[in-house]
Structure 1
């Protein structure tokens, strides 16, 4: 991987951190002053809160997690990625017990890369819609 190529840094993060769960890679790719502007409040804007989302929310709930990068655009130090995170819903996901359903979360994010590391993130995703659908299905199944 070329650490000077912002797209390659984002690809590595998606495949090794999100899909692979590598804490070592996460630490290598996150700048000490990283800010996740998509976080709900200032207390959750740091790198550790982002790691917790992957390690404590998504990974326990989604077996066979895959990341599919559909498109990436690079403009200077910012990379925009359109991707999906998919797998089988096998554990609690934001209050919804495992359904065994295959799920897919669509994501568009923008990451600013500096010196081969994530320094800022903005993003939108369909996680809330996926959880709402799973909840409706689990209520109907009861």
Structure 2
């Protein structure tokens, strides 16, 4: 089961985050999904994840690439250490494009149920990237 769960998370990272494949997003996301890392007073369901990728990251970063460095699976949870990188070629929140390469470090824990994302917890360095871009 651990290897199958790791593959679900790998597929989500490459097909959904990196490639923007909405059909894969729908296939891999449970309708009852809960994003425990969503900002306060924001939606916590599947739309919270899709919005992060399609409204924030993908418009801001061209040549978006995911590199998975480590994955550990135990029971129904998979922990992944990865980087998301790309060229800052569009607005990122209030920051106009700088043309700089950016890298966001991420550690995620995903609970898999029936081959789909059921819950997500995560930490990332996006705030550090925004702070660095703001100094330009």
TM-score (norm 1): 0.92
Gaps of 5+ in 1: 138-142
**Equivalent residue, structure 1, for 2:66:** 67
Using the TM superposition, give the Cα deviation of residue 42 of structure 1 relative to its aligned residue in structure 2, in angstroms: 5.4
Larger Rg computed on CA atoms: 1
RMSD of aligned residue pairs (Cα, Å)? 1.3
* Whole-angstrom CA distance in 2 between matches of 1:43 and 1:86: 25
CA deviation vs aligned residue, 1:30-66 (integer Å, no higher than 9, x gap): 0010000011235421111210110010001000000
Q: Deviations over 1:2-42 (max 9, x none)?
A: 9x810000000000000000000000000010000011235
Work out the CA distance in 1 between the residues paired with 2:85 and 2:124: 13
Which 5+ residue runs of structure 2 have no aligned equivalent?
A: none
Matches within 5 A, 1:76-95: 76-95=75-94
1:117 equivalent to 2:116? Answer: yes
Count of residues paired in the alignment: 135
For residues 14 and 113 of structure 2, the distance between their equivalents in structure 1, rounded to whole angstroms, comes to 19
Aligned-partner Cα distance in 2 for 1:25–1:80? 20
Distance 1:43 1:131 in 2: 20
Instruction: Encode CA deviations 1:62-90: one digit per residue, 9 max, x unaligned.
Output: 00000000000001110000000001000
For residues 123 and 72 of structure 1, what CA distance do their matches in structure 2 show?
Answer: 14
**Partner Cα distance (2:31, 2:102) in 1:** 33
After TM superposition, the score normalised by the length of structure 2 is 0.96
Task: Give me the whole-angstrom Cα distance separating, in 1, the residues matched to 2:129 and 2:42.
Answer: 25
